[in-house]
Amino acid sequence: MNLYGTSTISENGHLTIGGVDTVQLAKKFGTALYVYDVSMIREKARAFRSAFEREELNYQVAYASKAFSCVAMIQLAEEEGLSLDVVSGGELYTALQAGFPVDRIHFHGNNKSEAEIRMALDAEIGCFVVDNFYELTLLEQLAEEKGVRANVLLRITPGIEAHTHDYILTGQEDSKFGFDLQSGQVEKAIQSANGMNQVHLLGLHCHIGSQIFETTGFVMAIEKIYSYLSKWYESFGFQPEVLNLGGGFGIRYTSDDEPLPVENYINAMIKTVKSQMTAGMRMPEIWIEPGRSLVGEAGITLYTVGSHKQVPELRNYLAVDGGMSDNLRPALYQAKYEATIANRMYEPSDHLYSVAGKCCESGDMLIWDCELQRAIAGDTMAVFSTGAYGYSMANNYNRLPRPAVVFVENGEVSLVVRRESYEDLIRHDMPLKQAIISK
């Protein structure tokens, strides 16, 4: 078992994180419980930023808040000098309520509603990452109504998809996101945007995938983009002020994952851009959008062990008091995780279990094969690397209230999201007889 971040083992064999005993956290706040190692998030943010600082160029590191959004997290991103990506009115609202500097908010999404665009224009956010022609026209109209000018990046699909260890050259991209490069859509979008009074075209954006463990995909995407950029520079003098290269930097979910240091990605990106620029072109600002790599490894989920079922010679099920309601990724993507019994850290992990959730689905399995200490009901289980897309995908399936979230740092504990109550679950429900609103 490899511990990371600030995790250690206390004298009595308990897992600690941020100087705090996880077994006590479970007792105090109940389970399931999300726990974040704040200093680890800070460390990641600083690693990304210092990789750019060393290169002395203009940059933004935008936290993709869909990975984990709540007011305290947005404020932490602000403290660390990050920018912020939002993909919905709800994420934007959270950012505004957190007091995040609006000029560093970037608005993503392939189907922003009129109301969402108006909300973002009213808030005077930093830029819109425009996904399609419909949005470009709508944005121009709404900005004109308000008499403002909107900064825009065009999201492009460069025809390179990176998945962990392989790259798919798709040519014409079959994706719901972005303007296609190959078919000429990007050039057309640039020309349209340049002709609009209420739109200021800042540059281009691409995001090639997630859980990427090599620099090759980014290098290929940049080369592809510049093969077009140099043509457009020559033919109509276009060059981007900003090149946003997206997120997707890989993290360690299990010991099979070997992520690169973040500076490797940044260095490769900058080097490739520099090598691809043709004479006369200026260096664009480089923006990136890490989500999981900022928060994923910093989060763990604590559960209480409950029932145990042995299927003779087949499987040893150990059930916990959560599951696909607080971590959808195993059911959604067959995502893999590792765990430990947090109150038995000095005991050998010599039992093979399958860790089951408590939801009414056979597919609600958190970990299919997991070597753990011998566990009994009442033990505290910690599942690692659940900080990204855990809380943010949490749901109320089976009417399970969503768990609380705590931050720990230097022995301090902050409750940043309260646990939902049963009353919360029926807050918007109307009794049958009162539900009739017209006859």
Ligand X SMILES: *Cc1c(COP(=O)(O)O)cnc(C)c1O
Residue ranges of the binding site for pyridoxal 5'-phosphate:
248, 289-292, 389
Nearest CB to ligand X, comparing residues 84 and 117:
84
Q: Does 207 bind ligand X (CB under 6 A)?
A: yes
Q: Which residue has the tokens 């089976």?
A: 398
Nearest CB to ligand X, comparing residues 66 and 329:
66
Cβ–Cβ < 8 Å for 192, 136: yes
Q: Mind spelling out the 3-state secondary structure of the chain?
A: CCCCCCCEECCCCCEEECCEEHHHHHHHHCCCEEEEEHHHHHHHHHHHHHHHHCCCCCEEEEEEHHHCCCHHHHHHHHHCCCEEEECCHHHHHHHHHCCCCHHHEEECCCCCCHHHHHHHHHHCCCEEEECCHHHHHHHHHHHHHHCCCEEEEEEEECCEEEECCEEEECCCCCCCCCEECCCCHHHHHHHHHHCCCCEEEEEEECCCEECECCCHHHHHHHHHHHHHHHHHHHHHCCCCCEEECCCCECCCCCCCCCCCCHHHHHHHHHHHHHHHCCCCCCCCEEEECCCHHHHCCCEEEEEEEEEEEEECCCEEEEEECCCCCCCCHHHHHCCCCCEEECCCCCCCCCEEEEEECCCCCCCCEEEEEEEECCCCCCCEEEECCCCCCCHHHCCCHHHCCCCEEEEEECCEEEEEECCCCHHHHCCCCCCHHHCCCCC
Q: Quote the least distance from Cβ 388 to ligand X, whole Å.
A: 6
Q: Quote the least distance from Cβ 237 to ligand X, whole Å.
A: 28
Nearest CB to ligand X, comparing residues 5 and 291:
291
Q: Does 158 bind ligand X (CB under 6 A)?
A: no
Q: Cβ of 161: how many Cβ atoms within 10 Å?
A: 18
Residue of 88, 132, 198, 210 that binds ligand X (CB under 6 A) = 210
β-strand pairing of 8-9 with 15-17: antiparallel
Annotated binding site for substrate: 292, 329, 333, 361, 389
Residue of 17, 38, 64, 125 that binds ligand X (CB under 6 A) = 64
Residue with the closest Cβ to ligand X?
291
Q: How far apart are CA 85 and CA 248, in angstroms?
A: 13
Nearest CB to ligand X, comparing residues 14 and 66:
66
Q: Quote the least distance from Cβ 175 to ligand X, whole Å.
A: 11
Cβ–Cβ < 8 Å for 121, 142: yes
Of residues 334-393, those binding ligand X (CB under 6 A) = 388
Q: Does 173 bind ligand X (CB under 6 A)?
A: no
Residue of 108, 112, 344, 358 that binds ligand X (CB under 6 A) = 108
**Size of the residue set binding ligand X (CB under 6 A):** 16
Annotated binding site: 248, 289-292, 329, 333, 361, 389
Q: Quote the least distance from Cβ 168 to ligand X, whole Å.
A: 17
Of residues 281-320, those binding ligand X (CB under 6 A) = 289-293
The verdict on whether 70 is a catalytic residue reads no
Nearest CB to ligand X, comparing residues 224 and 292:
292
Q: Quote the least distance from Cβ 303 to ligand X, whole Å.
A: 24
Of residues 217-256, those binding ligand X (CB under 6 A) = 246-249
Nearest CB to ligand X, comparing residues 66 and 224:
66
Q: Quote the least distance from Cβ 130 to ligand X, whole Å.
A: 12
- Which residues share a beta bridge with 8? 16
Sheet holding 8-9, edge to edge: 8-9, 15-17, 20-21
Nearest CB to ligand X, comparing residues 29 and 389:
389
Q: Quote the least distance from Cβ 377 to ligand X, whole Å.
A: 35
Q: Which stretch binds ligand X (CB under 6 A): 62-70, 120-128, 312-320, 411-419?
A: 62-70
Instruction: Exactly one of 127, 206, 360, 370 is catalytic; name it.
Output: 360
> Which residues participate in catalysis according to the annotation?
360
Binding site for ligand X (CB under 6 A): 64, 66-67, 108, 207, 210, 246-249, 289-293, 388
